[in-house]
Structures are given as C-alpha cells and as structure tokens.
Amino acid sequence: MPEPKKKSKAHALVGYFDTPADLFHACETLRDEGYRDFDAHTPFPVHGLEHAMGLKPSRLPWIVLACAAFGLGGATLMQWWMGGVDYPLNISGKPAFTLPSSIPIMFELTVLCSAFGTFFGMWGLNRLPRFYDPVMKHPSFGRATDDKFFIAVEAKDSKYDPEGTRALLEKLGAKELTEVEP
Amino acid sequence: MSAAPVPVTSDVDDPSIRAPLVLGRQNFATVSDSVSTIVERKAPKTWFLLLGLALSILAILGGSLVDLVWKGVGRWGNNHPVGWAWDITGFVFWIGIGHAGTLISAILFLFRQKWRTSINRAAEAMTIFAVMAAGIYPAFHVGRVWLLYWVFPFPNQMSVWPNFKSPLLWDVFAVSTYATVSILFWFVGLVPDLATLRDRATTRTRQIVFGIFALGWRGSHRHWLNYERAYMILAGLSTPLVLSVHTIVSFDFAVSVMPGWHTTIFPPYFVAGAVFSGFAMVLTLMIIVRKAFGLEHLLTKRHLENMCKIILATGSMVGYAYAMEFFIAWYSGNDYERYAFVNRAFGPYKWAYWTMVSCNVICPQLFWFKKIRTSIPAIFVISIFVNIGMWFERFVIIVTSLHRDFIPSSWGYFRPTLIDISTFFGTFGLFLTMFLLFLKFLPSIAISEVKGVMPAADPHHHDDRHEAHEGLTGGTGNEDHHESDPEAVHA
C-alpha cells in the first residue's frame, strides 16, 4: 500500500526537450508508468505522438457527419418546399421539383454545413479560444511554438508526485523543469 | 550521421534520392525566423512601391464601379446579341485562378505531396482574393448591388423564392460555399503560425492582435489531434468542392441550348482549365515573392518545377478538350453546332481563338524540356502567357457563341467599352492590394507545416538526434534517412 502523496499547490510540472524524439520517448515512458493527465506542447504535430501518449482518436468526424446530414437534409427540404410547394415556378414546363436539378445545391450545402461543423467542432473539442492556460507561465513556453518540445504533467494526475515526477522527467532529459501555479 | 556538405540544390534527378524540401543549414528556429521576420521587420521599399501601384489600380476599380452603379449596367458593352461578355469572362477567369490554391492546399494534401507545404499558404490566400475579385462581377451585374441579397432564399413580403432550377442560383451557392470554406480552411492553417508570431512578439500591439487571432493556441498535442483531423476533413471537403465549383460555373453555359455552349465536356474541361490558369498565377506570384523576400531556400526550384509539370499536364488536357469540342461539333451532325465552331476558329474572332491556342496549347508544351522547367525567366514568361491565354479562352467561349445568333439579323460584333476594360483592369488592383497586405502582415509560408516535413521532425529520426536537430537537416537529408523511413523525410 503506497503512502498517500503530498498535496501540491502547483497546476503542473512543465519542462521541455530539444527534439521530437526525446519528447516521444518521454511520453511513452509516462504512459507506461501509468500517467494520464499529461500533455505535450509542440511547434508542429509530432507524428504518432498520440500513440505514445495513449490518446484516443478524435471524435470530430461524428460531429461532421451530423452536420453533413443536416446540410443534405436541409437543402433537400428547402428546395422541395420553396420551389415545389410554396412557390412553384413553371420553367419550360419542367416539373416544379426534381432531384437532378436539386443536386448541385444539395451538394454545396452539405459541404458548407460540414465545413462549419469541422471548424466550430474542432475549436469546441479543443476548448478554444481560451487565452490563458497555466502552462503558459513557464518562462520559456514561447518556444513551444518555435523549436522546443514541451511536456506538462498535471498535478491532478493520480501518479503525480512533485519529487518523483521531476526525477523521472530529469532522467528522460527534460530541461528547465518548473512547477507552474494555476 | 555524416555531416559531409551537400551542394545546396534541388536539381536531383535520381528518383530514389528526392530533392530536399528545405535547402541549406536549417533548423526549426531558422524556419520560424525566415518567415516571421517578413512580418516583423519594416517592409522593403519595393513593397511600398508595389502597394502604391496596387492601390492606384484599386482606385480605378472603385471609379469604374461607381460609374457603373450611378449610370447603369449599360456602361458595360454587353448588348444584344452579346448579352454576356467581359463581365462573365472576368468572373470565370478569377474563379479559375482561385482553383489552384485549393488544389494545392487540399488535393495535394490528400495525396501526401509534402512539397505543397511552402506554397500552400500563399496559394490559399490567392484563392480567397481571386474569389473576391470574381464576386465583383455578378454582384454588380445585378444592377442594384444593394439588393444583392435577393439572390439568397430568405422569407420576404413578396412571398417569392428563387428559381432552384437555374444554374445561376447554383452558382450563388457554389461560389459562396467556396469562399466560406476557403476562408475557414485558410484560417485553421494560420492559427498555429499566428501563435508563433504571438510568442515572438516584441511589441504589445502585435502580441494582442496575434494573440486574439491565435485563439490561445498552445501547441497541445491533444489539440493537434483534433486539429489534424479537422485539417484532413477540410481537405477532404474542399477537394470535391473545388471540382464542383467550376463544374457549376460551366453549367452556366452547358445547361443552356446555345451552340458552342451546350456540351457535356464543359465540366471537366473547365476544371482542368481552372487548375491550369491557377497554377500559372501561383507561379507568376511565387517567382516574384521568393526573390523579393529571399525565400529561395523554402520555395525551391523543385517547387517551381513541380508546378510546371502540373501546368504541362493540365495544359495538355485543355488542348485535348479544344480538339474534342471540334470533333464533337463535326460528329454531332448539327449544322448550328458546326457553324459555331468553324466561326470560332475562322470567323471575325479568329484572332482571339488563335491567341488562346498559342498561349494555352503550344506554350506549356515547352515544359517538356527540363532546361525550360528549371529556368526561372522562362517559367515566368510562360506563366504570364498562360494567364493571358486562359482569359482569352473564356472570352472566346462566351463571345463567339453569342455574337452570331440563329438568324443573321441577330448578328453583331462585341467591342468592350472603357468601363469594361477599366473594371477588369481594376480587379487586378484589388487582388494585388490584398495579396501585398497578406505578404506583409501574415506568415506567407506555413511555418508549422514546413517544420513538420523537415527530417528532424520525425520522432524516429536518428540515434544521433541532437546533431541532426541542430542543423544540416535540409542539405544532408538524402543519404542518411532513406533507409529508415523515406516517406517521413521526403515528399
């Protein structure tokens, strides 16, 4: 039975690596050690890092699928009701509502709604815009969008232990390890 | 890792050794630097000079449109029998220009063509500005531009709805969807780079402005996961979208029963032509930009050469379509259709037809020669010829099909008015002004994407990670990576 860990006031322990490979290795180690509430902050998406971190695939496609269905259904209903029922126009004796002539707008509105779903769905899943996050308090955090590969282990993680986690990350080669306040 | 110096070149012919995407001793920080400093330093004198020129041309557009709205659409030369002329020519021309941007950002992305990373941002910007320029024509052709919103279906006191069977209404939906999706896609791509600029900001204003538009991006991998999926979905949506837009534009003609317009080849032919003209415009602009801002190491000759190859391929498709149109006109056995095509090539507009053929069919065939594909002056000249040729293509299709109606009493010869010419000329002012502002105020190369295709970005890159990371990533990328994971290194 492990003794209860010391409560820490910090939000997270933040440090960085120089290369994607070091970060990748560190994430794999943390995952294997049983950490869950940790995140990597990188200047570009490091290929395959989600596996090293043990993350589940994005749920975004389901949101987009729902929006696409809404767009397709909406466009069909709109053209049928407006052009076929409410205000039928006789153009060269052609039927007021037909499927072939409705396809271009059905397609365009499907794409439009899906694109909105993707755009807003992605920001929604990411909880952005949010202009502040405690990890930004790390003195070198600006380089996370330039050339350094940050790791942030949150204090709320059940495995988190100020000394133990720090020692682990130091062993993995993390630099400038700093505990950031919430 | 051997650090033997490798010549800074992108002219590697051996297909097993691909030319590097980033030249010279580059690391992640220098990529951020070379793109960000364009935004951060004071703009060069040439930029101000060009902006002045672009704004003057934009003023011509403003003047022409004021005149047009004040006195009426009759200020354009469209009249019986040529009721559609420079206005729709300009519209189709600009929409076509836009297509290369989406092709580069979406289709090449889906095909994992990593060389797109250094040109996609500027090409997408070009798309948006080209669609803006295109939108001017239908918007002002309605006459009372302040009632433009009537094109959309909205509940109104007249209880009328638009005609959903009209290709012109399909156009409204296609072009507005295209503009919206292009802007969303572009903005999604910009966010990580805006965060880079925010974090580098030395002034408070810059920090706040970039900070707002970066939406608080902090490069979290949990975010990247959704982000990459969103990027992929947007690319997947844009690909059929871009094909649909020019298809629907071609329906404006193909769905009519005019000889010369009523052909089933129009959709693919228009799409190929659009990509063709768009790449020509990208080349024209990129050749200037890489020189003016010293971005030769990111926009390498290989990028230019690849674009030349696409121009060659699409130019050949366009040439095939021209020939096939003639064949089908003959094969259809329809006298009116045959006449429309003979008249197109040998009638009063033969000068326009043969200008089109020389610029679009003959000129790009020169790209079969590697010497020409890699000579920057030659590419520049040919790209301009293609731009001219593609404008003439639309002019030829539109005007020659209309100017001789079914009965000879309805024959005429279209001549543009001064306002026709100044409106078209002015749209270049709009396009250039927007493009110059973009170059100065936004990262014109996708910083995070370029970093992602550098050899050092691969987490399984090399045991000797530090050395690889510190530099030499571009030039020596060839010999030490292709054993392990060639795909991750080169496009």
- Per domain, the residue ranges of chain B are 28-459+482-489
* Interface test mutation site (partner B, options A30, A36, A38, A58, max chain B beta carbons within 10 A): A58
Residue of B198, B448, B465 lying closest to A44 (CB–CB):
B448
Average pLDDT over residues B443-471: 70
Residue of A19, A41, A131 lying closest to B211 (CB–CB):
A131
Average pLDDT over residues B309-338: 94
- A93 and A109 together in one domain: yes
For residue A147, the chain B residues in CB contact (below 8 A) are: 27-29, 32
B78 touches chain A (CB under 8 A): no
For residue B424, pLDDT beyond 70: yes
Q: How many CB pairs under 8 A join A and B?
A: 226
Asked whether the beta carbons of residue B237 and residue A89 sit closer than 8 angstroms, the reply is no
For residue B458, pLDDT beyond 70: yes
Asked whether the beta carbons of residue A133 and residue B218 sit closer than 8 angstroms, the reply is yes
- A77 and A116 together in one domain: yes
Residue of A39, A82, A143 lying closest to B220 (CB–CB):
A39
Q: Last residue of a domain, which of A83, A108, A125?
A: A125
Asked whether the beta carbons of residue A114 and residue B233 sit closer than 8 angstroms, the reply is yes
pLDDT digits (tens, 9 = 90+) for B283-308: 998 898 888 877 888 788 888 998 99
- What is the rounded distance in angstroms from the CA atom of residue B178 to the CA atom of residue B96? 12
Q: What percentage of chain B carries pLDDT values higher than 90?
A: 64
B59 touches chain A (CB under 8 A): no
Contact residues, B window 234-263, toward A, CB-based 8 Å cutoff: 234, 237, 240-241, 244, 248, 251
3-state secondary structure chain B: CCCCCCCCCCCCCCCCCCCCCCCCCCCHHHHHHHHHHHHHCCCCHHHHHHHHHHHHHHHHHHHHHHHHHHHCHHHCCCECCECCCHHHHHHHHHHHHHHHHHHHHHHHHHCCCHHHHHCHHHHHHHHHHHHHHHHHHHHHHCCCHHHHHHHCCCCCCCCCCCCCCCHHHHHHHHHHHHHHHHHHHHHHHHHHHHHHHHHHCCCHHHHHHHHHHCCCCCCEHHHHHHHHHHHHHHHHHHHHHHHHHHHHHHHHHHCCCCCCCCCCCHHHHHHHHHHHHHHHHHHHHHHHHHHHCCCCCCCCHHHHHHHHHHHHHHHHHHHHHHHHHHHHHHHCCCHHHHHHHHHHHHCCCHHHHHHHHHHHHHHHHHHHCHHHHCCHHHHHHHHHHHHHHHHHHHHHHHHHHHHECCCHHHECCCCCCHHHHHHHHHHHHHHHHHHHHHHHHCCCCCHHHHHHCCHHHCCCCCCCHHHHHHCCCCCCHHHHHCCCCHHHHCC
Please give the structure tokens belonging to residue B142: 């309605």
| Long-range pairs for A137-141: beta carbons < 8 A, 24 or more residues apart | A137/A180, A137/A181, A138/A14, A138/A176, A138/A178, A138/A180, A139/A176, A139/A178, A140/A16, A140/A176, A141/A14, A141/A41, A141/B199, A141/B218
Q: What pLDDT is attached to residue B383?
A: 95
* Interface test mutation site (partner B, options A78, A147, A148, A180, max chain B beta carbons within 10 A): A147
**pLDDT confidence band for B22 (50 / 70 / 90):** low
- What is the rounded distance in angstroms from the CA atom of residue B321 to the CA atom of residue B280? 19
For residue B34, pLDDT beyond 90: no
- Determine, yes or no, domain membership for A5: no
Residue of A94, A112, A135 lying closest to B177 (CB–CB):
A112
B270 touches chain A (CB under 8 A): no
Q: Say which residues have a Cβ less than 8 Å from residue B46's Cβ, sequence separation at least 6.
A: B292
- A139 and A176 together in one domain: yes
For residue B465, pLDDT beyond 80: no
- What is the rounded distance in angstroms from the CA atom of residue B149 to the CA atom of residue B410? 34
Contact residues, B window 101-160, toward A, CB-based 8 Å cutoff: 153, 159-160
pLDDT digits (tens, 9 = 90+) for A102-130: 999 999 999 999 999 999 999 999 998 99
- Determine, yes or no, domain membership for A139: yes
Q: What pLDDT is attached to residue B484?
A: 39
Residue of B196, B237, B456 lying closest to A111 (CB–CB):
B237
- What is the rounded distance in angstroms from the CA atom of residue B382 to the CA atom of residue B372? 10
- A69 and A119 together in one domain: yes
**pLDDT confidence band for B1 (50 / 70 / 90):** very low
pLDDT digits (tens, 9 = 90+) for B337-379: 999 999 999 999 999 999 999 999 999 999 999 999 999 999 9
For residue B451, the chain A residues in CB contact (below 8 A) are: 43-44
CA distance B83 to chain A (A): 21
Q: What percentage of chain A carries pLDDT values higher than 90?
A: 55
CA distance B172 to chain A (A): 9
User: What kind of fold does domain B28-459+482-489 have according to CATH?
Assistant: Formate dehydrogenase/DMSO reductase fold (1.20.1630)
A108 touches chain B (CB under 8 A): yes
- A25 and A80 together in one domain: no
Complex ipTM over 0.90: yes
Q: What pLDDT is attached to residue A4?
A: 52
Comparing alpha-carbon positions, the chain A residue that sits nearest to B231 is A118
CA distance A1 to chain B (A): 33
Asked whether the beta carbons of residue B198 and residue A145 sit closer than 8 angstroms, the reply is yes
**pLDDT confidence band for B25 (50 / 70 / 90):** low
Query: Domain tally for chain A?
Result: 2
Asked whether the beta carbons of residue A91 and residue B163 sit closer than 8 angstroms, the reply is yes
For residue B448, the chain A residues in CB contact (below 8 A) are: 43-45, 145
pLDDT digits (tens, 9 = 90+) for B237-282: 999 999 999 999 999 999 998 899 999 999 999 999 998 999 999 8
Contact A14, A170 (CB under 8 A): no
Query: Residue A39 pairs with which residues in a beta bridge?
Result: A152
The mean of the pLDDT values for chain A is 90
Q: What pLDDT is attached to residue B21?
A: 65
- A135 and A48 together in one domain: yes
Q: What pLDDT is attached to residue A182?
A: 82
Q: What pLDDT is attached to residue B288?
A: 87
CA distance A3 to chain B (A): 31
- A44 and A73 together in one domain: no
- Determine, yes or no, domain membership for A72: yes
The mean of the pLDDT values for chain B is 86
For residue B475, pLDDT beyond 60: no
For residue B195, the chain A residues in CB contact (below 8 A) are: 145
Average pLDDT over residues B136-160: 92
Contact residues, A window 78-107, toward B, CB-based 8 Å cutoff: 78-79, 82-83, 86-87, 89, 91, 94, 97-98, 101-102, 104-105, 107
Asked whether the beta carbons of residue A44 and residue B159 sit closer than 8 angstroms, the reply is no
A42 touches chain B (CB under 8 A): yes
- A45 and A79 together in one domain: no
Q: What pLDDT is attached to residue A6?
A: 54
For residue B237, the chain A residues in CB contact (below 8 A) are: 111, 114-115, 118
3-state secondary structure chain A: CCCCCCCCCCCEEEEEECCHHHHHHHHHHHHHHCCCCEEEECCCCCCCHHHHHCCCCCCHHHHHHHHHHHHHHHHHHHHHHHHHHHCCCCCCCCCCCCHHHHHHHHHHHHHHHHHHHHHHHHHHHCCCCCCCCHHHHCCCHHHHHCCCEEEEEECCCCCCCHHHHHHHHHHHCCEEEEEECC
Instruction: Please give the residue range of the domain that contains residue A146.
Output: 12-57+130-180
For residue B452, the chain A residues in CB contact (below 8 A) are: 44-45, 47
Average pLDDT over residues B321-338: 93
- A120 and A141 together in one domain: no
Contact residues, A window 144-163, toward B, CB-based 8 Å cutoff: 144-147, 150
Q: What pLDDT is attached to residue B148?
A: 93
A40 touches chain B (CB under 8 A): yes
Residue of B169, B218, B451 lying closest to A41 (CB–CB):
B218
pLDDT digits (tens, 9 = 90+) for B53-104: 999 999 999 999 999 999 999 999 998 899 899 999 999 999 999 888 888 8
B219 touches chain A (CB under 8 A): yes
pLDDT digits (tens, 9 = 90+) for A10-67: 889 999 999 999 999 999 999 998 898 999 999 999 988 988 998 999 999 999 999 9
For residue B217, pLDDT beyond 90: yes
pLDDT digits (tens, 9 = 90+) for A77-107: 999 999 999 999 998 888 999 999 999 999 9
Asked whether the beta carbons of residue B196 and residue A145 sit closer than 8 angstroms, the reply is yes
- A85 and A166 together in one domain: no
- A53 and A139 together in one domain: yes
pLDDT digits (tens, 9 = 90+) for B119-146: 888 889 999 999 999 999 999 999 899 9
